[in-house]
Each structure stands twice: as structure tokens, then as C-alpha cells.
Amino acid sequence: MNNLDIYPQTDIQRRKFMEWIGLSSLALAIPGISLSGCTSGRFQEVEKQDFKNVFDLERLSRKVMGDDAIEYLNGGADDLKTVKANLEGYDKIQIRARVLIDVSNISTKVELFGQSLETPIILSPVGFQKFFHQEGEVATAKAAASRKHQMMLSTVSNYSVSEVAAAYGPNLWFQLYPTPDRKITKILLEKAEQAGCPVCVLTVDTPVVGNRETSATTLFKLIDAGELKMGNLDGILPEGMKFTDMTVTWEIIDWLRANCNMKIVIKGIVTREDAALALLHGVDGIIVSNHGGRQLESNRGTIECLPEIVEEVKGRIPVLIDGGIRRGTDIFKALAMGANAVCIGRPFCWGLGALGQEGVEIALDIPKAELIRDMQLAGTPSIEKITGDFVVVQ
């Protein structure tokens, strides 16, 4: 269901519209001048500057997407304690800014897995993006490519890895849910490699799906009715077989090594012990993640898990983090606490749901601009300069 069936055409209509959707700025369209950053035409008078932060995009997405889609997107396990812990963890960290440093030239470049990335802000894998917008992962891919952000594609994407890679260009990363049948998992790996993916992101926090009480009934109905295709799994996953495997153990890392040539990054590590095991099994990178608080309730916020993992890894492989990152300062803090890059999930989906490709672009532009300003204000002209000296944990 799409709640928005009006297209504001006049200043008065537009003012009412902006008030209705609750945006924080009421910049008005100037007659005769095309101000639109949005090519969809649906919100042709909504300007980029109307979105001051990613929460403005969230507000709009709430109006545009149906309740079920927003519940699926924003929901989490049980009582959302871990969803909140992810967000609140960042409030316990303060920044120690330095001054009188030339910040006229800021570089956000990072090197990861042999790639040079323009920015350390990466798109987390998010399944079923067609539920948020009809162009789903293809719109996300076009936005990520146009803004030069690394994207990870979920196993349970609605568009296939080859379709998304065609929209994204080279170096899309593929997120893997290992299925109970390794033959099927192998087909997924082959599809990813054929699409040119250099990195396989193995998600390990989902032996079963978490207890999401704000259900996604419509999602399942759409899938059952065949209206929401699973681009990678349809046609290869037998009827009734789950796409996650609860028998999987560390042995899968060796199996992946033997069955693909991609770098292997493990997503869903939250303890020092598992970081040590991941190193022992020779993974190429770790993503500290609790699945955005959607899996095990009462997991700690990821920023609280990060220090023990960074300590264990000692710089031997890159450590990434996701969960609750909403502001440039959150990114700054995560980098200062030892992350090599950060990933965001819900915020880009708010953009997707609200405005399609353009919305994702806005959702990526905002935290990047915030990060650059924060780096200027803190006296850190490059990502390497953001060290532990720049934060204090309460």
C-alpha cells in the first residue's frame, strides 16, 4: 500500500505536504526553477536540502511505505533492547577534538581487501528490498555506484546478483546465507563469482531467524504468492527448504576456501573468542554485527563489542562494524575505536523506500558530509588520523 497519492504542485500544497510528512525544513520551490534532486517525479518538489539528516528520510519513508514494510525494516528481536543498545552505545563515547590543524583537504579513502574505496561507509546487506521500492536492490546499486560506496548484496535479494552487478559495476560484495544443502550453496557462490564479486560475506548470526514480533506478514504473503521473487534462490531452493542452515560450524570456512576464490569476510562476530577462531580459520575480515538487533535479543550494542575484537585481531585483518550508525559522529567514533570501515543498513533503506535511487543517494550523501565536517572539526584530515586518542568512553 502506498500512502502517498498526492503530488504537491503549488507552494501552498507543498508547505502542507512538508508539514504533513513532518520534515524539519520547509524550503519552498521557486516557480520556474527546477529544484528537484528526484527524478522519479513522485516527489518532484522535495529538495535534497529538505533532508537535514537520515531521520528526515525515515519520516518520509514511514509515510510512503506501508506499515508492514516499515515494521519489517525497523523491527528487531523481542523488545528491541539490542536495537536500542546499538544506537545508545554511541552516546557513551565522546570525542576529544584537536585544533589548529589544516583541514582544508579531507580524504575519506580507505583500502580494504585489495580495493581502494572512496569512503569507509559501506552498505550492509539487506534482504527483500523490493518490499521497500519496486526497483529494490537495482536502485540501491545505482545509487551506491553513483556515490562510490561499496555495496553488499544479500543472498535473499529480490534481484539476482547478476542483475545487481550489472547496475552496480565491478566489485559488488556477495553476502552468503549457507543453505542446508551445500550443492545449492555452491550454485550461489558460482553465481556470485560469475557476476564478478571479489568478496563473500558469510553471515553467521542467523542459524534461525530471530524472534521478530512485529511481523512481516505481508512480506511472506508476497513471497508465497510469487509476487516478491528471490532473485538468487528462486528455482534452486527446493520448496520448503530454509535458506539458512542451523547445523553450520566453523568447518564452513574451509569449505568456502575450497569452493570459491572470493575473499571471505565473516559477519556477525560479537566476542573476542569468536574473533580468535575466525583468525584461526583464516578469514580475510570480520564484521562486528548483531544483525541490527534483529537476531539475538540482549546482545550488547556492537560499538561495545568492538574493543575486545580489535584487541584480539591486532590489525592482522580488517575489522568492520555495523548497527545503529546514523551520524557522522557515530562513524568517527567507530573508526576511532579501531574499525577500518563502517556499514549502514536501515538508513539507506529509508531513502530507498522514500524516493528510490535518489533517496539512497541522499541517505549516503548525508552521513558522508557529516563525517567530513566532523573530521574537520576534530582535526583529522584523513581516516588514518582518526585514532583512539580522539575518543573517550564514559
The C-alpha atoms of residue 154 and residue 232 are separated, in whole angstroms, by 9
Q: Say if CB 378 and CB 98 are below 8 A apart.
A: yes
Identify residues 144-163 at the interface with ligand FMN (CB under 6 A).
154, 156
Q: 285 touches which of ligand FMN, ligand LXCWX6NK, none (CB within 5 to 8 A by kind)?
A: none
User: How far is it, in rounded angstroms, from Cα 354 to Cα 62?
Assistant: 8
Instruction: Give the shortest CB-330-to-ligand FMN separation in angstroms.
Output: 10
Site stretch for ligand FMN (CB under 6 A), options 55-63, 120-128, 271-279, 381-389: 120-128
Judging by beta carbons within 10 Å of its beta carbon (0-12, 13-18, 19+), is residue 10 exposed, middle or buried?
exposed
**Contact yes or no for 89/304 (Cβ under 8 A):** yes
289 contacts ligand FMN (rule: CB under 6 A): yes
Contact 195, 161 (CB under 8 A): yes
Distance CA 165, CA 385 (A): 33
Binding partner of residue 131 among ligand LXCWX6NK, ligand FMN, none, CB cut-off 5 to 8 Å per kind: none
CA distance 83 to 306: 16
175 binds, among ligand LXCWX6NK, ligand FMN, none (CB under 5 to 8 A by kind): ligand FMN
Report how far residue 141's alpha carbon sits from residue 116's, in angstroms, rounded to the nearest whole number: 18
**Which residues lie below 8 Å from residue 241, measured CB to CB, with a gap of 6+?**
179, 180, 181, 184
Q: If we measure between CA atoms, which residue out of 325, 130, 300, 294 comes closest to residue 215? A: 294
Q: Give min distance, CB of 294 to ligand LXCWX6NK, in A.
A: 4
User: Contact with ligand FMN (CB under 6 A): which of 140, 150, 175, 329?
Assistant: 175
Report residue 357 as a C-alpha cell.
535511487
Q: How far is the CB of 242 from ligand LXCWX6NK (least distance, A)?
A: 10
Grid cell locating 31: 516557480
Residues 53-72 binding ligand FMN (CB under 6 A) are 72
Number of residues in contact with ligand FMN under rule CB under 6 A? 23
Of the pair 38, 152, the CB lying nearest ligand LXCWX6NK is at 152
List interacting residues with ligand LXCWX6NK (CB under 6 A): 127, 156, 209, 216, 291, 294
Residue nearest to ligand FMN as judged by C-beta position = 345
Least distance (Å) between residue 307 CB and ligand LXCWX6NK: 25
3-state secondary structure of 46: coil
Name the residue with cell 570456512.
253
The closest alpha carbon to 105, from 380, 370, 387, belongs to: 380
**Which one of ligand LXCWX6NK, ligand FMN, none is in contact with 323 (Cβ closer than 5 to 8 A by kind)?**
ligand FMN
Site for ligand FMN in 82-101 (CB under 6 A): 86
**Which cell numbers in the block locate residue 222?**
508476497
- Tell me the C-alpha distance between 356 and 83, whole Å: 25
Nearer to ligand FMN, 47 or 135 (CB): 135
Q: Is 292 in the site for ligand FMN (CB under 6 A)?
A: yes
Q: Which is nearer to ligand LXCWX6NK, 130 or 291 (CB)?
A: 291
Amino acid residing at 62: R
291 is catalytic: yes
Euclidean distance between CA atoms 168 and 144, whole angstroms: 7
State the binding partner of 140 from ligand FMN, ligand LXCWX6NK, none, CB within 5 to 8 A by kind.
none
Q: How far is the CB of 199 from ligand LXCWX6NK (least distance, A)?
A: 18
Does 18 bind ligand FMN (CB under 6 A)? Our answer is no
Q: 34 Cβ partners below 8 Å, 6+ apart?
A: none
The continuous run of DSSP H or E covering 180 comes out as none
What cell was used for 102?
Answer: 589544516
The answer to whether residue 322 forms part of the interface with ligand FMN (CB under 6 A) is: yes
209, interface contact from ligand FMN, ligand LXCWX6NK, none, CB < 5-8 Å by kind: ligand LXCWX6NK
Which listed residue (73, 85, 138, 253) binds ligand FMN by CB under 6 A? Answer: 73
Binding site for ligand FMN (CB under 6 A): 72-73, 86, 124-127, 154, 156, 175, 203, 267, 289, 291-292, 294, 322-325, 344-346
Active site members: 291
